[in-house]
Amino acid sequence: MTATAPRTEDPTAADAVLYRFTGYAMKRAYMRVQDAVSARLSEMGLRIGTFSALGVVATNPGISQSRLSEILQIKRSGIVVVVDELERVGVLERSAVPGDRRMYALSVTPGGHRLWRKAEAAVRVTEAELFATLDAGETEILRHLLAKAARGATADGGGDPE
Amino acid sequence: MTATAPRTEDPTAADAVLYRFTGYAMKRAYMRVQDAVSARLSEMGLRIGTFSALGVVATNPGISQSRLSEILQIKRSGIVVVVDELERVGVLERSAVPGDRRMYALSVTPGGHRLWRKAEAAVRVTEAELFATLDAGETEILRHLLAKAARGATADGGGDPE
DNA sequence: ACGAATTGTTCATTGACATAACAGTTCAGG
DNA sequence: CCTGAACTGTTATGTCAATGAACAATTCGT
């Protein structure tokens, strides 16, 4: 029974102490994803940050930069750079909002939607390659548990329907 | 039926598109861990990087900086800073290696071991709090799947027919 | 009408790395 | 033994994403 260890939980690895922490495993796993996804996205002129923003705006047309910054958990000043970059390549637009001259309504251009669909598919493929050692069910469980862990105890029991 | 959604997979969230990617869920989850753990560690004068190094040296006495850099996947020049920091507060030592004057043998001082045990426990508690929405079994599965995803196709199956 | 709050923006700064070059040391082969 | 390649630790410098603090323009509350 001591014969073939699952290799996934190698106690002889020099960083075995750290892998006992979920956070370390998260970091290590994310680093791997980040490298592969960044490389893939850079081929189409995107970074992880701009990819994420593009996706959020694509599915939330008319959103403001402030709101986008909340969603992506990046400060407003950081969003400017991201939006600038996406606007410069013509995939995203800042249009005036009728009622309020302080903010812009963000929207994705037709070309932007095309790029988004392409990038989305590419990242999906990249992730599939990365997680080839997991079967479909495991990947789904992983994603689900991560989402749960990411949201945490969302404190607000749900009594704030805006 | 539309009443109480599991909240864990909230399709109305503005970044729902992104949560469909495992990588995004990883990032989000890790960010949360990073914030909490960093805060906790800073109380005892540690950062995540120094904490990790301390743990690896504690369980791998006599290790060299080069080897440590491989394990933590940080370049040698980056390790210098980490080791400097740990040595300055007296939890880690660089001692001469008999046979080879190029490298140092790293080791953790008694006080260092005490700090490590304390930090280890603190991080464990912090993680437990963070993942309170997961039961013990889920946390274990999450950790296991992450480790698997982090290692990926470890390539070294033995056959590398070039 | 006026002070408080909001939005987007700029600029300086930070932190956590990487890169490149370097000195000291070891080692393999002639 | 000698010499050049390879290795270890180190320093200096650059990079990249993100933050914080300020600011102007605008809107809101009372």
Contacts of A47 (CB under 8 A, 6+ apart): A38, A41, A85
Confidence of residue A80 (pLDDT cuts 50, 70, 90): very high
B130 touches chain A (CB under 8 A): yes
pLDDT at B160: 34
Contacts of B106 (CB under 8 A, 6+ apart): B57, B61, B62, B63, B64, B65, B68, B83, B92, B93, B94, B95
CA nearest A30 in B: which residue? B26
Per DSSP, the three-state class of A111 is helix
Q: What average pLDDT does range B27-42 have in this prediction?
A: 97
Question: For residues A119 and A116, what is the distance between their CA atoms, to the nearest angstrom?
Answer: 5
Å between CA of B109 and C1' of C22: 31
Contacts of A132 (CB under 8 A, 6+ apart): B152, B153
pLDDT at A21: 97
Bases of chain C within 7 A of a CB of the protein: 6-11, 16-21, 24-27
Nearest to A152 among B71, B133, B146 (CB): B133
Confidence of residue B146 (pLDDT cuts 50, 70, 90): very high
Residue A30: name the closest of A117, A142, A141 by CA. Answer: A142
Nearest to A27 among B22, B30, B151 (CB): B30
Binary contact (B151, A59; C-beta < 8 A): no
Cβ neighbours of A63 in B, within 8 Å: 14
Binary contact (A52, B143; C-beta < 8 A): no
What element of type H or E holds B36?
A: helix B22-42
pTM for the complete prediction? Answer: 0.90
Share of chain A above pLDDT 70, in %: 89
- Residue window 82-121, chain A: list those with CB within 8 Å of chain B: none
